[in-house]
Amino acid sequence: MDFIKVTKDHAPYVALIELNRPKELNALNIQLMSELGETLKALDTDDEVRVIILTGNEKAFAAGADIRQMAGKGTIDMLQGELFGIWTQISKTSKPTIAAVSGFALGGGCELAMSCDMIIASESAQFGQPEIKIGVMPGAGGTQRLTRAVGKAKAMEMVLTGKFIDAEEALRYRIINRIVPVEVYMQEATKLASEIAAMSPLATQLAKESVNRAFEVSLEEGLYFERKNYYMLYSSEDQKEGMNAFLEKRKPDFKGK
Ligand code: DAK
């Protein structure tokens, strides 16, 4: 891996993926995206991993897709997917994902963070969809996920002006979970990841799937889907372990079975 660093045992059952093109502010080139896609695929089926943290560095989570790589491309290149095929992979990850964001999260970088399930931001985080300034528009969820999160008026303003918003504004508009000082944003993301990793991985996976379903279907269908997932968990050992541990006044030891 040239452009990402993977630590599988960052904390018990928590994997850490660090984007690693610091000189280019972690601009997302084809190689980085394909390394990220392969890694996510592998971690998603790894029993030793229950939660995935995605981060950059203090200065930049990611300043967007690599403009140098895109500048000379045509429509057919885009359609053929060499550059962008991997993007859909990210939101397909079945395990909970947390973006730990400091500095710039712009364009594809903002979309990448928003593809994660939760975002912990440092005080220096800045979010934006500046594609309009380079003659294009968001293409990986910036008009859809952002609009669902912040509503039409704010999404229009961000997408049509390309202006960045700071962490405070991102919190106000519910793009992120919380803001912490730069020195501890990784610690905070790890704490959240570890808390979730201590739960039954079967329950977290089905709960994640059910929450995501709320954005796709009617309330009635969503409730039906939720109930099926709920019933399904009663065939797991983790359900017995969780409930017995409660009754026996001890901590549960979930095995993902
Ligand atoms: N691409 C390539 N290089 C970049 C870059 C980017 N997005 N962002 C920064 N860099 C490079 C700069 O060129 C510079 O390199 P050198 O000149 O030193 O070689 C280095 O990183 C440091 O950047 P600056 O010198 O500009 O640093 P500043 O602190 O002055 O400014 C900045 C930081 C983040 C405000 C500025 O670099 C900037 O505005 N960057 C571009 C931000 C941007 O426009 N991002 C959106 C890109 S378009 C899709 C999937 C994804 C996408 C579309 C479709 N599908 C699945 C269909 C995504 C598209 C995009 O993200």
Task: Give per-residue pLDDT as tens, 123-164.
Answer: 999 999 999 999 999 999 999 999 999 999 999 999 999 999
Among 167, 156, 233, smallest CA distance to 200 is for 233
pLDDT value, residue 182: 98
CATH H-level, domain 201-247: superfamily? Lyase 2-enoyl-coa Hydratase, Chain  A, domain 2 (1.10.12.10)
Q: In the predicted model, what is the mean pLDDT of residues 36-44?
A: 95
Using the predicted structure, report yes or no on whether residue 53 has a pLDDT greater than 80.
yes
Average pLDDT, the chain: 95
Q: What pLDDT is attached to residue 83?
A: 61
Q: Which regions of the chain carry the CATH code 1.10.12.10?
A: 201-247
CA–CA distance, 49 with 9 (Å, rounded to integer): 8
As annotated, the residues of the chain forming the CATH 3.90.226.10 domain(s) are 4-197
Is residue 242 within 8 Å of 230, Cβ to Cβ?
A: no
Question: What percent of the chain has pLDDT above 70?
Answer: 98
- Measure Cα distances from 188 to 98, 100, 129 in Å: 11, 9, 26
Pocket test for ligand 1, best of 25, 86, 115 (most atoms within 8 A of CB): 25
Rounded distance, CA 165 to CA 171, Å?
Answer: 10
pLDDT at 88: 77
131 is catalytic: yes
Angle made by CA atoms 98, 101, 103, in degrees to the nearest 5: 170
For the cut 80, the answer to whether the pLDDT of residue 86 exceeds it is no
Model pTM score: 0.96
* Residue 79, pLDDT score: 82
180 Cβ closer than 6 Å to some ligand 1 atom? no
Contact 164 CB / ligand 1 (< 6 Å): no
Task: Kindly indicate whether the domain formed by 4-197 is annotated with CATH number 1.10.1380.10.
Answer: no
**Ligand 1 mean position to 63 CA, how many Å?**
5
**pLDDT for residue 239:** 98
Give the model's confidence band at 91: pLDDT under 50 very low, under 70 low, under 90 confident, else very high: confident
**Substitution site in 19, 21, 61, 67 for ligand 1 pocket (most atoms within 8 Å of beta carbon):** 67
